[in-house]
Amino acid sequence: MSTARVLAAAAREVRRTLRGARTPGVAELRDTGWEVTQLIGELTDLAALPAEHTAHHSADPGRLRLPDGAPGTAGLAHACRELAALRRALRTAHAAAREYYTALSHLGPAP
């Protein structure tokens, strides 16, 4: 099973857990926040892999062609920009997930 499929299955499991019939307590929300933080961190690392491979193709863009035989440099450049945007979004999401987890870590039930 590919890494992406394992991560997708983990995300579905977290979603099912959160959609339970009862409202989770703060400790459960914190634990889920930690899991989400870890998941996004793994996705961030996963997105770095295609960046390395795409960079390899960028070194010699003349070897890439569109189906009609035209140069593929514009498509490669577009893919690189989109991958960079994805990586920025994942870093932002990871930071937000960490903040969510940290904020919940300071909370507990009222006496």
* Per-residue model confidence as pLDDT tens digits over 53-111: 887 777 777 788 888 988 888 888 888 899 999 999 999 999 999 999 999 998 877 77
Q: Which residue stretches of the chain are H helix?
A: 3-18, 26-58, 73-105
Domain that holds residue 68: 3-105
Please indicate, yes or no, if residue 38 is contained in any of the structural domains.
yes
Please indicate, yes or no, if residue 14 is contained in any of the structural domains.
yes
Q: Name the burial class of residue 30, with classes exposed (0-12), middle (13-18) and buried (19+) by CB atoms within 10 angstroms of its CB.
A: buried
Between the alpha carbon of residue 7 and those of residues 13, 24, 45, 79, the distances in Å are 10, 23, 12, 22
Give me the mean pLDDT over the 6-14 stretch: 78
pTM, to two decimals: 0.73
- How many domains, the chain? 1
Please indicate, yes or no, if residue 96 is contained in any of the structural domains.
yes
Please indicate, yes or no, if residue 50 is contained in any of the structural domains.
yes
pLDDT at 21: 61
**Ramachandran category for residue 45: left, alpha or beta (phi over 0 → left; psi -120 to 50 → alpha):** alpha
Please indicate, yes or no, if residue 78 is contained in any of the structural domains.
yes
Strand partners, 71: 65
